[in-house]
Chain A
């Protein structure tokens, strides 16, 4: 499905991702973990074409898309929900959905979005930027349903949201996975992420240091070693 082969990303001379190879298998969920600055967001940016790797190849269904513009990735079925709010704040909810629906009719897009997040149905005419953080995130995530992508890249989609909203979002992700969509998940709620993942990859300073199933992590000190203490572990 989505294959990263030997991806290296550098800002000037500072290497952020070093020779990373990773495959998101068809219909499976892969959690990508790591401490602050390990290169998770960079990986997603590279995987959706936002960032051009210095070297390495990106294959979608075996087709080499290295160096292509982001919209080509989107058309190939890669849906990247970026960190922060992935919506156009000055457009209305309906207009946001219209933009998301380049491959379907916009009425169908609205219908699918509302079926995923009923709350959006009452807000179609509202300007996206004036909605609450949770609603904006739902609108951003609706794209992952409206465009019927093959792979969804999710960057900290639960960040800054109330626990109830987070639960709602994870329920949505589960639903996506059940429909056969592949997910690549970067998430601060590690345990929630592991609960819905088939595989887990751990990055440290731009390198892949662990790849396996969530069960394999039990009883190891990989967390302590690579995830740092600041982010999830507090008390």
Chain B
């Protein structure tokens, strides 16, 4: 079964077609990347996946279930988590509260009562999820710090930990390495591998080709809202189509 599948998804802004009849899928237990130049429609595609945008046409299938008509919160409760390129943390709250809310948000969505308060069993679940995801992301020492006080690199990890705590089987990560230095990026890649080893699936939008080529199992290439290529990292590197559309002729010259 595929984790996430888009079929013929078209997004328009006014009369501009931002994403044109895009079909792609992310396999379960793998890291799939979505790459393409700026303005190719990657973030738009993500927003269509998570329900922040309603496509003009097309279908979004999550874990075999059609979620096209659901809003963002409902899709999250069906198992789709995401992070944001511009980092959407709860800045005034501590790291462990942030991460805990990753799970509590979904719990709150179950009923009016659950929105007001949780029971003891849930509290234990939340505490366990927080501990585990802080550990996975290796930020246990930040638990008591306020999210707003951290560096970009730390904040990226907190955002990932929050999504992990939510227990989402499918994760959308939007440019997780932007603002990270080389060392942080490498570590981030290792964490992502460990996440999929644990059985989850990741769809990734990313600019850093080193990261993409080293951690991804499969790539989709977008250009001007159109799907132009897909394949393994090796195939993508070898493809002349991709070089023309995305990498450009500049590659060799400035290296």
Contacts and interface: CB of A to CB of B under 8 A. Distances in A.
Given A160-B37, A230-B210, A233-B255, A130 B250 contact: no
Contacts of B207: 230
A131 B254 contact: no
Nearest to B243: A235
A223 interface: yes
B38 A190 contact: no
A191 B254 contact: yes
Contacts of B15: 130
A229 B181 CA distance: 11
Contact of A162 (B13, B16, B224, B251): B224
A163 interface: yes
A133 interface: yes
Contacts of B210: 229-230
B208 interface: yes
A110 to B, nearest CB: 22
A235 B237 contact: yes
Interface residues of A, number: 23
A132 interface: yes
Contacts of A189: 248, 250
**Looking at chain A's contact residues, is the secondary structure mostly helix, strand, loop, or mixed?**
loop
Nearest to B209: A234
A190 B16 contact: no
Contacts of B249: 163
Interface string A182-193: 000000011110
B14 A129 contact: yes
Nearest to A229: B210
Contacts of B14: 127, 129-130
B141 interface: no
Nearest to A133: B39
Interface string B211-255: 000000000000010000000000001000000100111111111
Contacts of A232: 250, 254
A190 B254 CA distance: 7
B16 A235 contact: no
B40 interface: yes
Contacts of A190: 250, 253-254
22 contacts: A129-B13, A130-B13, A130-B14, A130-B15, A132-B16, A133-B39, A159-B38, A159-B39, A160-B40, A163-B249, A191-B253, A191-B254, A192-B250, A230-B207, A230-B210, A233-B251, A234-B209, A234-B247, A235-B209, A235-B237, A235-B247, A235-B252
Given A191-B253, A235-B252, A235-B255, 16 more contacts: A129-B13, A130-B16, A133-B39, A159-B38, A163-B248, A189-B248, A192-B250, A230-B207, A230-B208, A230-B209, A230-B210, A232-B250, A232-B254, A233-B251, A234-B209, A235-B251
